[in-house]
Structure 1
Amino acid sequence: MGAPQVFDASSSYPSPAQSSWPSTITRKLIRALIACVAIHFILSRLYYANSHLDQSLPEASESQIVAQDEVVPEPQSTLYPPQQFPDSSTNTLANSQHNGDVWRPWLVAVTCTAADAERRAMIRASWMKLFRDVPFDGRFVLADPGPYIESVAEENKTFGDLIVLDHVRERDLVANEVKALELFEWLVDHRIRYTFVTKIETDVWLNARRFWDKFLEPRISNETGQIKANARRTVIGELAYSISQHFAFPHEAMYTVSWDTLEWLVRLHDAYPVVTWNDRAVTALMLKGKERSQFVNFRPTEKFAYEDADSRRDGTAWARERTHPESPRHALGNTEAIVVDGLKTTEDWFKVAVSFDEKGMKERPPRLDPDPIPPFSLRWSDFWYMLGMPGRYESRFRQIPDSIWSFEDGDWICGGIWNLGKTKAGYVDA
């Protein structure tokens, strides 16, 4: 027999130095991950914490305007002298309210610049044409065209769908901010009346069929032989929150007002020359005038910004399986979509456009293959979402702090001015 084999423990087990370093690194990684989660949670909570309702705005005289929360005492200079636009087709607009026996009680006003001729052509040829059986008038609202005055005049001769506010200078500091309010004044001055008026931007796809069927037609009555809104002072849009100004406002991509609300805003605008960023001017005027309005709120699945990274990445606008429909930004996931904004590129515009027909949004087709791996930014957001921190996926409604809500006489009031009715969200059931 050979010599007995001696068991060498050192050959079977790693040394203490060898065995400790993996566990040490693991513990460090766990501690770092916990610290990151804690910091992310604290920062996300602080983002909305301690919010308060500061509704004070700078005071201005009758000859001054408040813009971006600062008083602007003098008109801003322009690089071209203002010119009188030849014709804004007021007769065409007034006559178009009757199309045969069809009364058109709804005006859709697309605010744009004179240089947006290509985008106007896309809108005419897409949702305005697709939903032409819906009783709305589609018009484009421009400020002073400046150097584009001749081309804009020719365009208006061809289509007759431009409203040119030539007293508003496009390059002024307040041009974009006052355009919607100036349109409201223009309609009142020209005695062109609609039951509802929608302000919308050029990067928005509008499912006019579903919006009319669900939101407008139920709010119109014809009992006396005259079409009118059956609810007073109504605003329809997506309620959003301004952290800098500490108030809630209808998101600027698209909102709709009843005619009595429009007239009332015109009176407030005459009394209080207040203008703030985008269409927060509506809220600012209501705060100055201490007024209230009914607010009908969009669901996140009804109004959202399109995000191509959230799509199936197959050349369509359909959403991936793990999409977050409550997010302010996502791809097309169901048939509820009414307002799809953020369509800055022509490619995204047509991806969304082919997802609709004259009846509204098409059914999302099933996907046979697994979704491709999404970009890292979405995977990172998905990771935090699984840990209970929605981050970018938190809806605009949930971003409104509790401090500006009140419950009065059975109704939910946001910011002291928006009455959302019996339910806090203010959504409309299908």
Structure 2
Amino acid sequence: MKPLLPLHRRSHLSSYFLTLSFVTFATILYFQDFTCLLRHPSSTPPLNLNLKEKDDYAMDLPFTIVKGNTSCDIFAGQWVYDEVARPFYAEEECPYIQPQLTCQTHGRPDTGYQHWRWQPNACSLPSFNATLMWEMLRGKRLMYVGDSLNRGQFVSMVCLLHRVLPEDAKSWETFNGDSLTVFTAKEYNASIEFYWAPFLVESNSDNAVIHRVTDRIVRAGSINKHAKHWKGVDILVFNTYLWWMTGTKMKIMRGSFESETKDIKEMETEDAYRLALGRLVMWLEKNVDPNKTRVFFATMSPSHTRSEDWGGEAGGNCYNQTTPINNPVYWGPSTSKSMMQVLKEVFSASRVPVTLLNITQLSEYRKDAHTQIYKKQWNPLTPEQLANPRSYADCNHWCLPGLQDTWNEVLYTKLFFP
């Protein structure tokens, strides 16, 4: 990867006062935004993922502007239709969205999915301020690590932030066989990055372009192939889940993929998941300074492949869904509670604080927000495929703008107002 550009020539004093003014301004906005509303009864999520250990409050976490309202669970709430403040940007205003997520370009007839705003039950999220975020990221690196869902969140963040930058002050580059994508804000000497590692540990699906393998194999305990690209990053946002959910046991290999003979055994998915996350924690504890670096992990992104699950017609899926699910305790079958429990147990034991972005419950409601058939993967869907949305609708990925902008709103909140 190319090194970041050197800082512009400016006095440290002026930069300090500029950042200080933004922090002060954000603090005022924060206390205005985080006022209690208490208008809606709270529904208890199916699984509480709050980590109550040394995590957020025994130390001053890096990037904190002000401590948040600890009595408010920002992940418990409801979706409110908002034609004024949502979406944050138009699809055509962000040239970085890959064709897989450009639903309007590929013929989606409705736009309502873009206008839903997440409203926590007992407070409000602070207003997303792109200029403030760049000031806080000055001289820093923010990296998303994981699968295509995390890549979608990465692209969402770029869309949220790039508009405040002049055209000649930003760049988009790929490295390492497209495994690493880097968006750079030259004036701020800052970057937002994505690294492809769908299992986090080494696997036979590590090629960022050609990775559709049916016989998925994970190399036990091997993370350094990927992790060497994460060293020195200031904010890390990990995810891994969907690639583990094959419906069968996971194949775990000891030794090298290059070896002629391979020692492969099968493990229960939860055990293999625990092994990989445990290896991540070991790497974090060895390589990350919690006084300088923030670490986040995004929980499971749900799928909506069976409309019967939310009381819809038999044989349907996310296709032609235009409104969220309004059942506050809805929890679909695509999200494994046992895998969620593994997350909580592994990261609770970490000596490096890992903040869980519990995007699962709020995303469970959004059956309307998937790309459906309005996308292009490698090639556009054929007329035959378009005519058969029950078989070919993508109910895993999300249109942009849309739901993943909210994921970044909660990241913004947990980063600056933990």
Shorter-chain TM-score: what band?
under 0.3
Q: Which has the higher contact order (CA 8 A, sep 6+)?
A: 2
Which structure has more helix as a fraction of its residues? Answer: 1
Bigger Rg, structure 1 or 2? 1
- The TM-score with structure 2 as length reference comes to 0.27
Higher fraction of strand:
1
